[in-house]
Structure 1
Amino acid sequence: MLEQELMVAVDAALEAGVEVARLRRDGVRYGRKDGWELVSEADIRAAEMLHAALTGAFPSDGWLSEEHRDTSERLGRDRVWIVDPIDGTREYLQGIDEYAISIGLAIGGLPVLGVVHNPATGELFAAECLSAPERVPTESTGHSIEVLVGRGEQLHDELPPLPEGTETRGVGSVAYRLALLASGQGNAALSGHGRAEWDVAAGIALCRAAGLRASDIFGEAMPFNQADPYVRGLLVAEPGLHSRLATFFRRLRRE
């Protein structure tokens, strides 16, 4: 069990959330990394707080975070914290309540703990999944399905073709999107774009704890704590629907 890890991660997320919300309320400075990617002082402050809390409690663990310089040191660690201080910085700066603090723990390359906290709504999602089994696959009912997708992907029509009868719901932060799915909102989550591990590790752990299946968009496994920490798209759903959607996308690839 990961009771202590979960407790520390929850406390760290809540404390960082208070600071992130305060900065947004009082006025927050921001800029762009590498000339294009948004970053705010709240991202940096939350990163500092989370790093101090988690590495202070578990000094032998590895660390991978969007706002810290990555090193190869983590590759030799079996346990690695994978953290995004604010997933959905654009929504955060725009005042859209669809961003989240995302804390994941991977052991042996598998996300086994997730904490996702939305300071704007007060929602907190937390679970560990060391021994969580998948749900029993369901058969197709012929009913429409709701797929949670990126707000920007939906707005700019950047979604891949979807099966007939699919409805989409745009949500800003992918971590928040996965947390909503794990809590029973929607039938699947999808992204046709590559994602950084820190975007999805915590959310995938939450979904695995809920018995859902997570993979890249073609149904292939996504190991974490890779030298190049990115995943090739994202597909999460209960196992029966996941298999049907993955088959659909593999057929598109062959065509």
Structure 2
Amino acid sequence: MTDGALAAHLAQVTGALLLTVRESRMCSAHTLGKAGDQTANQFLIHALREQRPDDGLLSEEEKDSPDRLSRERVWIVDPVDGTREYGEGRSDWAVHVGLAIDGVATVGAVALPGLGVTVRSDAPPPLLPMQTPLRMVVSRSRPAAEAISVATALGAVLVPMGSAGAKAMAVVRGEAEIYLHTGGQYEWDSCAPVAVAAAAGLHVSRVDGSPLVYNRRDVYMPDLLICRAELVPAVFAALRGRPADNPVG
């Protein structure tokens, strides 16, 4: 099985498993989130260690090991991206299965179980035409000031949404044009979504334009930009407080 097929299969199966747990309705939203995290993590960890025993592994729900730092290939997973949304019965949560090779998010699959969709880097969907006004996905609880500022400069509409994976896939699937995050994340929050977005032809970087580097000792990632390539100059100009040409003509 190819890496892409494995990532997609594991993300999809994990999503189905999580839906089964949620449908049991046997505990509160908080407890349900914890149960989902643990159940999904155990499945992913065991499956990846069996299928790719020579690769490194980093999971939000697993104790980190410095062994991964010496590996060229490292699987980076988030068993439930958006635990709060999952526990509340919402659809804007995701399962991330990503593979970083030499620090680059290369292979990824993002399952959106609440929507019955799995988006994968080895078969990305075609990009749809941009809409006017532009749409920018932001946190539904704490939209970053920088995102609001850029949206104002570009005349973009803010679209509140839950998990990082759901927001990134909204751009991939043509439901938005920009995902700008400056509130801090971790490698598992973006590895798989970035691999899928890059494969789809979207721009992916830090907000200063530098590349996103994975499998580092410190897994904290301060910021992230995923957007349509045509919008990059306008977004960077807005971030610097400069006027930009109309990005959609």
**Taking structure 1 as the reference length, what is the TM-score of the superposition?**
0.84
2:134 to 134, 145, 153: 145
Secondary structure in 1 matching 2:57: strand
Letter in 1 for 2:230: G
5+ residue gaps, structure 1: 33-37, 136-140
SS of the counterpart of 1:120?
helix
SS at match of 1:103: strand
Q: Within 5 A, what are the aligned runs for 1:63-142?
A: 63-128=57-122
Q: Tell me how far 1:146 sits from its aligned partner.
A: 0.9
| Aligned-partner residue type, residue 81 of structure 2 | D
Aligned residue in 2 for 1:222? 212
2:233 maps to 243
TM-aligned CA deviation for residue 102 of structure 1:
0.7
Q: Which moved more, 1:49-58 or 1:7-16?
A: 7-16
Q: Distance in 1 between matches of 2:29 and 2:170?
A: 29
Once residues 189 and 95 of structure 2 are traced to their aligned partners in structure 1, the CA distance between those partners, rounded to angstroms, is 10
The more displaced of 58-67 and 239-248 is: 239-248
1:85 CA drift (Å): 0.2
- Whether contact under 8 Å (1:212, 1:239) holds in the other structure is yes
Residue 3 of structure 2 is aligned to residue 5 of structure 1: yes
Q: CA RMSD in A?
A: 2.7
Query: Counterpart of 1:161 in 2: which secondary structure?
Result: helix
How big is the shift at 1:83?
0.3
Runs of 4+ in structure 1 deviating by more than 6 angstroms, as ranges, are none
Per-residue CA deviations over 1:151-182 (Å, capped at 9, x if unaligned) read: 2224x978442214121111101112112211
Q: Aligned-pair distance for 1:103?
A: 0.7
| Residue of 23, 26, 34 corresponding to 2:24 | 26
If each structure's strand is expressed as a fraction of its own residues, which one has the higher value?
A: 1
Is the partner of 1:148 in helix, strand or coil?
strand
Deviation of 1:221 (Å):
1.7
Work out the CA distance in 2 between the residues paired with 1:177 and 1:57.
29
Q: Secondary structure at the match of 1:189?
A: strand
Q: Can you list the C-alpha shifts for 1:27-70, whole angstroms capped at 9, x where unaligned?
A: 355798xxxxx951111110111111122111111111100001
Match of 1:207 among 176, 185, 197: 197
Deviations 1:229-248 (A, max 9, x none): 12121111122312321232
Aligned to 2:149: 161
* Contact map agreement 1:28 1:42 (CA 8 A) in 2: no
**Aligned equivalent of 1:51:** 45
User: In the TM superposition, what whole-angstrom CA distance separates every residue of 1:59-100 from its partner, at most 9, and x where no partner exists?
Assistant: 111111100001211111111111000000000111111111
Paired amino acid for 1:56: E
1:45–1:210 distance in 2 versus 1, CA, 3 Å: same
Distance in 2 of aligned mates of 1:31 and 1:98: 15
Of the structure 1 ranges 112-121 and 84-93, higher mean CA displacement relative to structure 2 is found in 112-121
Contact 2:33 2:87 in 1 (8 A): no
The 1-side partners of 2:184 and 2:134 are apart by 23
State how far apart, in whole Å, the 2-side matches of 1:66 and 1:29 are.
22
Match of 1:190 among 180, 186, 204: 180
Equivalent-residue separation in structure 2 for 1:62 and 1:30 (angstroms): 34
The total of aligned residue pairs comes to 236
